[in-house]
Homo-oligomer: A and B are copies of this chain.
Amino acid sequence: MDGKSNLIHQNRTGHSSNPQHLFKHISKVSRADREQLNNNKAFTIWLTGLSASGKSTIANEVEAWMFSGQIHTYVLDGDNTRSGINKDLSFSDVDRAENIRRVAEICKLFNDAGVIAIAALISPFAKDRLMARNIIGNDDFIELFIDCSLHECINRDPKGLYKLALEGQINNFTGINSPYEPPQAPDLHLHTDFNSVDECVHLVKNYLINKMKFAENI
């Protein structure tokens, strides 16, 4: 203990809570206990891709399939979390990283609760996706690249946001005036330009059945 503690407690950025003052409380109920009650292993499926690439649609269909098999899941969608826990964050690079950090921490909590987290966020930067993988844990992190050409996303534009971004009315819009760094080695790579939603969900199912030992009949 030294005089630095006051500084640590007053510092708004960085690690402000002095770790020496925090004591981890161990629950009497373990993650394994919760997974056993839920009758499913917990992990995180992280969908990354451009706006309008199909992330939320695929996330919801995958969840509906899992739920029909009594699997415990929860979707954390970028738009929804930005209306709640992340409503204080902008789309600057720093705030995008914080957006992803918080959602990754929430995925980790859900996994610890025995629930499969499905995160659907643009998450355009490789370093931020790596941060999410590190927070959640490599063994629990499945990266799904929802790949769709910018041309097709602009054509779809279901929210009218590409139009606004192209007109210069939105700053930091991924693909228009902010970059998207495609994953170099995603766990699964889906192409929504030429595969239907049903085909994509089928590929996710196959992946989970083969890699995560999901039963085929759920």
A residues with CB within 8 A of B: 1, 3, 5-6, 8-19, 21-25, 27-29, 33-34, 37-38, 56, 60-61, 63-64, 67, 70, 72-77, 79-80, 82-92, 95, 98, 101-102, 105-106, 108-110, 112-113, 115, 120, 159, 161, 164, 169-172
Contact = CB atoms under 8 A, between A and B. Distances in A.
Q: How many copies does the complex hold?
A: 2
B172 A21 contact: no
Contacts of A56: 25
A172 B149 CA distance: 52
A87 B13 CA distance: 9
Nearest to A61: B28
Nearest to A86: B17
B13 A60 contact: no
